[in-house]
C-alpha cells in the first residue's frame, strides 16, 4: 500500500475525492471521460487505495491460460460475445450469480470523442436492479472523483441528463476527446 500511495499521490500527483458506499454490494461504475489508456492504471491505483473490489467484463477468449489467471485476479469476468445474444441480459445474469459485483464501464464505449453515450450501462443497471456510481477522471485537477450512487427512475432521458451532469466541465487526459 505504501508503494501505491507513493505512486498515486507523489509521483503522479493525483488525489481522491469521495468514496464508495460500503453498504452497496452491486453497482455499475461508469468512468469518464474515458479518453486515454492512462485511465486504466489510474483506476487500478485508486481502487487499491479505496480498498474497493471493482470488476470488468471481457470476451471469454481472454481468460484462457496463461492470461486468464491474471484477468480473473484483476476482477475480470468472461463474457460470451457470440453474435445474436442479448448482452444486457447476459451481464445482468452475472450480477444475479455474484454476491458482490461492481462492474466498471465507460459510458462513451471508446476513448475517442463521441456525441452520445452508449446506453448499455443504463439498461444493464436497470435489468440487474443496481445503482450507477459515476467516477470522474478529472485530469484538470488530477482528481479521481467518486460520486454518490444514482438509483434509476423510469425516466431514461432525465436519468441520463442527471448522470451526465457529473462530467460537466471536466476534461480527460486527451482534452480534445472529452
Which residue range is the domain that position 142 belongs to? 2-168
Is the residue at 114 inside a domain?
yes
User: Using the 8-state DSSP alphabet, how is residue 7 labeled?
Assistant: I
Is the residue at 84 inside a domain?
yes
> At how many degrees (to 10) do helices 87-97 and 120-128 cross?
40
Is the residue at 34 inside a domain?
yes
Q: Provide the whole-model pTM.
A: 0.89
Q: Residue written as cell 459510458? A: 107
Is the residue at 173 inside a domain?
no
Q: Which residues contact 80 (CB under 8 A, 6 or more apart)?
A: 60, 90
CB of 57 closer than 8 Å to CB of 77: yes
Number of structural domains (the chain) is 1
Residues of 138-173 as b/e, b for ≥16 C-beta within 10 angstroms?
bbeeeebbbbebbebeeeeeebbeebeebbeebbbb
Is the residue at 176 inside a domain?
no
For the chain, 178 residues long, give each residue's pLDDT as a single digit of tens.
Answer: 899 999 999 999 999 999 999 999 999 999 989 888 899 899 999 999 999 999 988 888 888 888 889 888 888 888 887 787 788 998 999 999 999 999 999 888 777 777 888 899 999 999 999 999 999 999 999 999 999 999 999 999 999 999 999 999 998 888 776 7
Is the residue at 178 inside a domain?
no
Amino acid at each position: 500500500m505504501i508503494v501505491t500511495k507513493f505512486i498515486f499521490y507523489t509521483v503522479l500527483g493525483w488525489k481522491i475525492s469521495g468514496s464508495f458506499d460500503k453498504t452497496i454490494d452491486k453497482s455499475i461504475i461508469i468512468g469518464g471521460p474515458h479518453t486515454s489508456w492512462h485511465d486504466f492504471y489510474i483506476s487500478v491505483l485508486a481502487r487499491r487505495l479505496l480498498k474497493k473490489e471493482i470488476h470488468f467484463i471481457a470476451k471469454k477468449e481472454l481468460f484462457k491460460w496463461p492470461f486468464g489467471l491474471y484477468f480473473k485476479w484483476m476482477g475480470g469476468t468472461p463474457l460470451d460475445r457470440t453474435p445474436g445474444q442479448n448482452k444486457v441480459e447476459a451481464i445482468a445474469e452475472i450480477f444475479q450469480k455474484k454476491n458482490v459485483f461492481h462492474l466498471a464501464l465507460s459510458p462513451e464505449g471508446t476513448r475517442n470523442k463521441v456525441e452520445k453515450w452508449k446506453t448499455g450501462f443504463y439498461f444493464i443497471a436497470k435489468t440487474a436492479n443496481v445503482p450507477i456510481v459515476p467516477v470522474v477522471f478529472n485530469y484538470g485537477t488530477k482528481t479521481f472523483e467518486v460520486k454518490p450512487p444514482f438509483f434509476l427512475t423510469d425516466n431514461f432521458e432525465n436519468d441520463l441528463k442527471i448522470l451526465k451532469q457529473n462530467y460537466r466541465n471536466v476534461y480527460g487526459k486527451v482534452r480534445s476527446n472529452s
